[in-house]
Structure 1
Amino acid sequence: MKRPFHKGWNVIRRITGMVMCLLCVITLLPLLQAEGAGIQNASRSMQPSTFAKSTAELHSDTLAPDAVQQFAREQAIILGTEHEGNHWDHAQLDFYPLGPGTRSWLVYANVVGSPVGYMIISANDQGQFQLSEYGQGEQRPYNISLLNQALDRQQLDLKKMINDGGGLQLRYAPPLLAYWKVERPNDDAIYIDATNGDTLPTSVLNALDRDSQQDTKRMKSIRSISVQAVVKTPDVSPKVPMLSVDSMDLQPLFDPADNLLWITSKALSISGVKTLNQQWKEHKKIVFSADQQNVMYGGPLPVSGYQIWRDDRGTVQNQYIAIGGNTSVRRFVPLQTLLRDGNFYAVKP
């Protein structure tokens, strides 16, 4: 099967780089102030909802309904089982909604101001939540420095742009496209990948915008999702599933563009972590590519590790595969998501 490799797209993704900003005027004004943007009187009412393990009550906030907070806290406690001292279970969680129609929330985890990791939580029409992706340590999407560099490369002054009627929004398009929408007054919006700072094709993102607006009209409200989920788990204190995570298995990072011979190889037969490990022993380096959907992944990307989630009997319940980490954020995503949308390829020496 022919798999087109868009060399021109990769060049664009590399050249556009990273640049100056502040996050969404509505959701990230405290960060804007920290960067010296000089916007006043907004942080009092725009602070994100937060809690830690010792918090007895989950506080509702327009940035994240109670059910989202509860689900996020459960996932954080599970991630905290990896090893003693990884601090997920004691982290403060900060919530940011990711655009209209997506029903997704970005969650930053910090301990005493130091990053522990991040999560992106998504909800379906039935109010069921999924951990769409997560990351460990300092690497996280929607990084302020990344955006600062990207906007600077575009020669944009965010404060002036906002004063003139423009704006900035955090967006997320399933399965894995994290991006900023930069609205310019009297000009077309531009879109920036929030995992690597690359500029995204406006035609594709404009279509996604139209779809998300239609989804928003069909939704009754985000809060209705919260009510559905709370009915299923009515306890105020988190009811944590008996799950735990193995230690992360990480692989050396590399750039798939350094050796393009993987394009000519056949897709590997991957059904789980076991077969993935077998391929690593034989080929050393593996690339994930969603082919013509790579714009939705920021790919092609190196496969850089995995983490297994188990129940209290030790049975494997979830397999999260790490993609990226070299020129983009390392993201742990469900193996089923990758198998549905793309293939794995061996990098030939």
Structure 2
Amino acid sequence: MKRPFHPAWNLIRRITAIAVCLLCVNTLLPLLQAEGAGIQDGSESLQSLTIAQSTAVLHSDTMAPDTVQQFAREQALILGSEATGKRWKQAELDFYPLGPGTRSWLVYADVEGSPVGYMIISANDQGQLLLSEYGQGGQRPYSSSLLDQALDKQQLNLQELSTEGGELKWGYAPPLLAYWKVERPHAAAIYIDATNGDTLPEGVLKELELDVDAQNTKRPHSMTTMSGQTTVIPSVSPQDSILSVDSMQLQPSFNPADNLLWITSKAVSITGVKALSEQWKKDKTIVFSANHQNVFYGGPLPVSGYQIWRNDRGTAQLQYVAIGGHNSVRRFVPLQTLIRDGHFYAFKP
């Protein structure tokens, strides 16, 4: 036989139970939020290709640290200083981390759902943020339609892979390799170039991933955990002066494979965009090739334009050169990166 409790004791028990429940909710809430943020590891369900979005205006670190968002907004304002690029200033910026250990973020810029352009921001070993590349308009890496086309060639279906436990991951490898990794439950992973849809060599990418893992173990102590992903929180170096950009100088794009005369030509010396202009004035077409490193560029690629970044005194500070634009995304990348890794070939088509 159960002994009934005194009414006062029953009241104490109820208050205690409510307090315990509140304590449990407060304890579990951070865990539930962390679990919900697990998408930040750079992977996404194959069943759904959408990722929760955040904007630079909100300064939410859900998808990128505040320092990355601040830097992205600064670059968008610079790109918006050019007359035809003013929409950059009003654009909403959506951030997507590009895989654990890469210290890179994809940034889509849109105005009322209309694409303005994209940026990829990376942190170097010193923790400084860099604008690795950018593009204008609707041409963007990691396009879901491009992924669908690439998977169709492999006779793969996202829905079926998802049901079987497959996984899709976004990756970015320096200097300029944007790719997807499609993990299959009973077969080797497939790597796909996210700028042109080409299948990438599995061995090269596996070795690259091992290198990234090894480098992560040697990172300095200026590291923090962001929703389960270990990443460097970079510091933004103050700029010497306010920057602005000149108008884009664009050339018609082409497919280097359609005319292989460039292979037999001698590499030309390109030290700045002035040399590019001189070659184009001679009615010559220019190809960039990184030779054995072409897998990291998606090349060989047509050189299809440039844009100069200047300080408030009008002095050129940065030179970005456009590569691609025919069978791949047109990407504006630092000229010095191209000079370091490859050669330019000019020929009359």
TM-score bracket relative to the smaller structure: 0.7 to 0.9
Question: Post-superposition shift, 1:282?
Answer: 1.6
Partner of 2:306: 306
**Counterpart mapping for 1:1-349 below 5 A:** 26=39, 37=47, 47-51=52-56, 55=57, 58-61=59-62, 63-83=63-83, 86-219=86-219, 220-221=223-224, 225-226=232-233, 229=235, 242-349=242-349
- Asked if the contact 1:64–1:95 (Cα under 8 Å) also holds between the matched residues in 2, the reply is yes
CA distance in 2, matches of 1:306, 1:91: 22
Cα deviations across residues 81-126 of structure 1 (Å, max 9, x unaligned)? 0115630011000001111221110000000001000000000122
Amino acid at match of 2:232: I
CA distance in 2, matches of 1:134, 1:240: 22
CA distance in 2, matches of 1:161, 1:32: 10
Structure 2 gap segments, 5+ residues each: 1-37
1:86 aligned counterpart, secondary structure = helix
Question: Post-superposition shift, 1:302?
Answer: 0.4
Cα deviations across residues 49-81 of structure 1 (Å, max 9, x unaligned)? 213xxx4x62222x2001000000000000000
Question: Post-superposition shift, 1:167?
Answer: 0.5
CA distance in 1, matches of 2:85, 2:127: 33
- Counterparts in 2 of 1:87 and 1:344: CA distance versus 1, 3 Å: same
Question: Post-superposition shift, 1:347?
Answer: 2.3
Question: Post-superposition shift, 1:162?
Answer: 2.4
Question: Post-superposition shift, 1:164?
Answer: 1.9
- Asked if the contact 1:100–1:216 (Cα under 8 Å) also holds between the matched residues in 2, the reply is no
Amino acid at match of 1:323: I
CA distance in 2, matches of 1:176, 1:60: 25
CA distance in 2, matches of 1:67, 1:109: 17
2:150 aligned counterpart, secondary structure = helix
Amino acid at match of 1:161: L
CA distance in 2, matches of 1:276, 1:222: 44
1:87 aligned counterpart, secondary structure = helix
Question: Post-superposition shift, 1:186?
Answer: 1.4
Amino acid at match of 1:47: A
After TM superposition, the score normalised by the length of structure 1 is: 0.81
Cα deviations across residues 195-244 of structure 1 (Å, max 9, x unaligned)? 00010111111111111222333344466732x516x67xxxxx995000
Partner of 2:23: none
- Percent identity between the two aligned chains: 65
CA distance in 2, matches of 1:187, 1:243: 49
Per residue, is there more strand in 1 or in 2?
A: 2
- Counterparts in 2 of 1:217 and 1:165: CA distance versus 1, 3 Å: farther
Question: Post-superposition shift, 1:303?
Answer: 0.3
- Counterparts in 2 of 1:184 and 1:86: CA distance versus 1, 3 Å: same
- Asked if the contact 1:309–1:316 (Cα under 8 Å) also holds between the matched residues in 2, the reply is yes
CA distance in 1, matches of 2:241, 2:141: 27
- Asked if the contact 2:45–2:162 (Cα under 8 Å) also holds between the matched residues in 1, the reply is no
Amino acid at match of 1:127: G
- Counterparts in 2 of 1:181 and 1:98: CA distance versus 1, 3 Å: same
- Counterparts in 2 of 1:112 and 1:166: CA distance versus 1, 3 Å: same
- Counterparts in 2 of 1:71 and 1:299: CA distance versus 1, 3 Å: same
Amino acid at match of 1:64: A
Greater relative contact order (Cα 8 A, min sep 6): structure 1 or 2? 1
Alignment: residue pair count? 304
- Asked if the contact 2:41–2:100 (Cα under 8 Å) also holds between the matched residues in 1, the reply is no
After TM superposition, the score normalised by the length of structure 2 is: 0.81
- Counterparts in 2 of 1:281 and 1:125: CA distance versus 1, 3 Å: same
- Counterparts in 2 of 1:252 and 1:110: CA distance versus 1, 3 Å: same
CA distance in 2, matches of 1:343, 1:153: 32
CA distance in 2, matches of 1:215, 1:162: 31
Cα deviations across residues 175-208 of structure 1 (Å, max 9, x unaligned)? 0110000000011000000000010111111111
